[in-house]
Structure 1
Amino acid sequence: MGAIQQTDVLIIGAGPSGSSAAALLRQKGYQVTVIEKQYFPRFSIGESLLPQSMVFLEEAGLLETVRTHVDECAFQFKNGASFLKGKQRSFYDFTQKFSEGPGTTWQVRRADFDHLLAQQAQKMGADVHFGHEVSAVDVESAHPVLTVKNEQGQDYQIQAKFLLDASGFGRILPKFLDLESPSDFPVRRAVFTHIEDGILDDPEFDREKILIAVHEKDPRAWYWLIPFADGRSSFGIVAEQDFFEKYGYDGSADYDLEALQKRILADDDSLSHVLRNAKHDTPVRTLVGYSADVKHLAARNYALLGNAGEFLDPVFSSGVTIALKSSSLAVPLVDQALQGQPVDWMEQYEKPLRNGIQVFRAYVESWYSGEFQDVVFSKNQDEKIRRMIASLLAGYAWDTSNPIYRNAKQRLSTLAEYCREDLHREPQTDGT
């Protein structure tokens, strides 16, 4: 197997959390090695960035490389979110938010976006190994050791002073170290693809916003439509398995997912009208049981970043934001540890990160309970409330000055009750 290779920080995964962590560490002068199983560019969902992400990309020195490739990669300018349910429509403009910070971002093909970030991390000096797969993990000694299989199928070992797991849904450390903890979210399935959307001059469709559409007959199910700048879109359907079974899908591997997606779309008049000219020209994929959690996010010589630690749900596009936030929080602590200073990973990393995740969790749960749906479609929101909600939807889940940050679940429930009262209020005899 040869001599054990050495590095300062070893990162598993070259997605957004891995590349941003590598860039931040290179800014501090550390030797960084990244192990990535796949070859980039590679397909991934999670294409609708949130404005909060722009802060973290700039901090890592990655924002400019994205900005300079916007036209080449057909990244779509994004300034908000639109909602659709039957004849009900609503939208939030992220520039009209409560929190300070950017109010715009992009909707991106992740294959291009992730590749750009990884390439920039390489230019900054990170050593990225594509096509290399982790086959064993040893964190018992002070300096963790990975056994890795290279492109030729040969094993080698590499030791680091600190280990970061940015493996996303691969969840390398949770699997090898028995850290996985079941999510308390119901098991849901996503069925998704890219389409030529055919949306031309539709006054009711805004390419500068993600469209989240509630299924007219089952509010537990929803669609995402994420436009790119070249007339194409990411299109997905999310629901629990029993919803898909109503359309004949039993989860079998050889099922015609494109036909399934078309049947479900056809059963929703409003969204079918938006996509009346769409061409389905890309293989449809599915992902089930993606929500995940872990027993802890960090220990003395390793930490979990992004989806490797916890993934909630795709409904409000929080994945990339959480991934980048985790790198932003973790890297200064890695630096602190490598400088021989004590680090309280629970107090300094896990609790702060999970505080924001809990805010995201509150309105994901509220969405599926129907409460947040009542809020977004309500016509009875004053401007202050709208600005607070816009901040959450824009990814500012760590803004402690936002009143909704404190006890978010209860505040959203109270707001939903108010909106429901307005929805069912009987009209007055004078017509008001």
Structure 2
Amino acid sequence: MNPDVVIIGAGPAGSVAAAMLAGAGFSVEVLERAHFPRFSIGESLLPQAMEWLAEADLLRDVVEAGFQHKNGAMFRHGDREESFDFRMKSSDGWGTTYQVRRDKFDDLLAKGAVRKGAKVSFGQTVIAMRPDPVAPSLTVRDEEGNEREITARFVLDASGFGRVLARLLDLESPAGFPDRMSIFTHVEDNIPPQAYDRNKILITVNPRNSEIWYWMIPLADGLCSMGVVGKPEHLAPYGSTREEQLASLVAESGLMGELLVNARRVRDVGEISGYAARVSSLTGPGYALLGNAGEFLDPVFSSGVTIALKSASLATHALVRQLKGETPDWDKEFAQPLARGVETFRAYVSGWYDGSLQKIIFSQPADANQIKKMITSVLAGYAWDEANPFVREPGKYLKMVEELCG
């Protein structure tokens, strides 16, 4: 029997969408190429994401998992330091969240979707897609090479960096950002208990090149995710291997290097390059693209999971209406509202790399307290709060504050 909905990918967007749709009474099959649990980068959630986990009835799964709490972010550049407490924001809503091991986080969300009634099939690769407004179909190959056809009433692509439908349907579009790469690993950090507030991620700017930055994300059980982001040509002089580059860069990072002086690596150094991506359209006949399958900006503000869950929520609401015989306007109900938040994050990512946002973060403009609360709201993921002028017209207000900073 064919399912009502097929979802490609069992990451956060796919599992949340599956849980919502199954909870609404529809049959759902999720096709995942990997086997869970599996490693993934992107461990730092934003508080706004908690709303959509609750909407999918998956919040309790996350709360009871024992992840590291998160209430903000610390930014460092040389001796300059600025802390953002997400509870001190202008928007209503959650002010805390978690820093998660994605292997465990993604696995528990997938299991939560199964608990809600969805079917999750692992080791499945989608090799062809035939769009159709009523009965889209997929060709799927398993790990033994067997192929099958699946026809559904709708397909959601939540394949993340795999970007399945973008590739199969030639939807790729210029991202608008220069190529950057990240080099990363997990360590047993051995940070002394009083040396750093583990409830906050640490974002550090390289002292010699402000386009290079580092992350340090304390996790539960004494682990830590650490990495560096920059243009390949900026990272290459630091060593002939990724391990050498990461070690050399961390050595000149200041506080981060001091905190991790006794760290012990517990997984190989990995890399992702050319990750910025977007598509010509998020929807088509019988399908829609969620999260990173449609667009990914940059890891600097940890927006990836938040955008993914927002897209899952918007798409599910529209799709439930369609499956019940109504005619949703996918552009107005899904693509446009999703884009508003994405464009807010885009303005902040652009401001980070052109230096204007770094200038604001490490300065004290006039009326700094209220301005900081509004910027904190965006950093906490409230990029769809139109009451916030830094969401409504982010470019304009960031430029204004930059000028106030001299």
**Same-fold call, TM cutoff 0.5:** yes
Structure 2 residue identity aligned to 1:246: P
Unmatched runs of 5 consecutive residues or more in structure 2:
none
Gapped runs of 5+ residues in structure 1? 250-255, 422-432
1:193 to 185, 196, 209: 185
Separation of aligned partners in 2, 1:21 and 1:359: 23
What does the per-residue CA deviation read over 1:250-288, in whole Å, with 9 as the maximum and x for residues that have no partner?
Answer: xxxxxx322221011112333322222222232000000
Give the total of aligned pairs.
405
Q: Deviations over 1:300-336 (max 9, x none)?
A: 3110000001000000000000000001100111111
Task: Give a deviation string over 1:196-235, Cα, whole Å, max 9, x none.
Answer: 11210344x2110011000011000000000012211000
CA distance in 2, matches of 1:414, 1:13: 41
Deviations 1:54-112 (A, max 9, x none): 00000000000111111xxxx11000010011101111101110000010000000000
Who is 1:41 aligned against? 37
TM-score normalised by L of structure 2: 0.97
Give the match's secondary structure for 2:226.
strand
Structure 2 residue aligned with 1:90 = 82
Query: Following superposition of structure 1 onto structure 2, how do residues 176-187 of structure 1 map, counting pairs within 5 Å?
Result: 176-187=168-179
Paired with 1:229 and 1:16, the residues of 2 have a C-alpha distance of: 20
Q: Pairwise mapping of residues 155-194 of structure 1 onto structure 2 (< 5 A)?
A: 155-194=147-186
Q: In structure 2, which of residues 340, 346, 356 is the aligned counterpart of residue 371 of structure 1?
A: 356
The CA deviation string for residues 22-81 of structure 1, in whole angstroms up to 9 with x for no partner, is 0000111000000000000000011000000000000000000111111xxxx1100001
Alpha-carbon distance in 1 for matches of 2:111, 2:272: 27
Aligned to 2:333: 348
Structure 1 pair 240/115, CA: closer, same or farther in 2 (3 Å)? same
The 8 Å contact of residues 184 and 269 in structure 2, kept in 1 or not, is answered as yes
Q: Distance in 2 between matches of 1:53 and 1:183?
A: 24
Corresponding residue for residue 217 of structure 2:
226
Q: Which moved more, 1:91-100 or 1:377-386?
A: 377-386
1:150 is displaced (CA, Å) by 1.8
> Secondary structure in 2 aligned to 1:315?
helix
Tell me if the contact between 1:82 and 1:209 (Cα under 8 Å) persists in the aligned partners: yes
Is 1:81–1:209's contact at 8 Å kept on the other side of the alignment?
yes
Deviation at 1:152, TM superposition (A): 2.4
Secondary structure, counterpart of 1:136 in structure 2: strand
Residue 13 of structure 1 corresponds to which residue in structure 2?
9
Q: Which residue number corresponds to residue 118 of structure 2?
A: 126
Q: Do residues 277 (structure 1) and 262 (structure 2) align? A: yes
Contact 2:20 2:56 in 1 (8 A): yes
| 1:267 counterpart = 2:259 | no
3-state SS, counterpart of residue 2 of structure 2: strand
What is the root-mean-square deviation in Å for CA atoms of aligned residues? 1.2
Separation of aligned partners in 1, 2:344 and 2:371? 16
State the TM-score, normalizing by the size of structure 1. Answer: 0.92
Give the distance between the partners of 2:119 and 2:144, measured in 1 at CA: 18
The answer to whether the 8 Å contact 1:336/1:343 transfers is yes
Query: Which residue number corresponds to residue 301 of structure 1?
Result: 286
Instruction: Tell me the amino acid that sits aligned with residue 6 of structure 2.
Output: L
**Residue of structure 2 equivalent to 1:213:** 204
Corresponding residue of 1:109: 101
Distance in 2, Cα, partners of 1:94 & 1:141? 42
- State percent identity of aligned pairs: 49
> How far apart, CA to CA, are the structure 1 residues paired with 2:194 and 2:351?
31
SS in 2 for 1:234: strand
Contact 1:313/1:364 (<8 A) preserved: yes
Q: Give me the whole-angstrom Cα distance separating, in 2, the residues matched to 1:317 and 1:163.
A: 27
Runs of 4+ in 1 over 4 A off after TM superposition: none
Give the match for residue 243 of structure 1.
234
Does the aligned pair in 1 maintain the 2:190–2:263 contact within 8 Å?
yes
2: distance between equivalents of 1:48 and 1:77? 10
> Match of 2:301, SS?
coil
Higher Cα Rg, which structure: 1
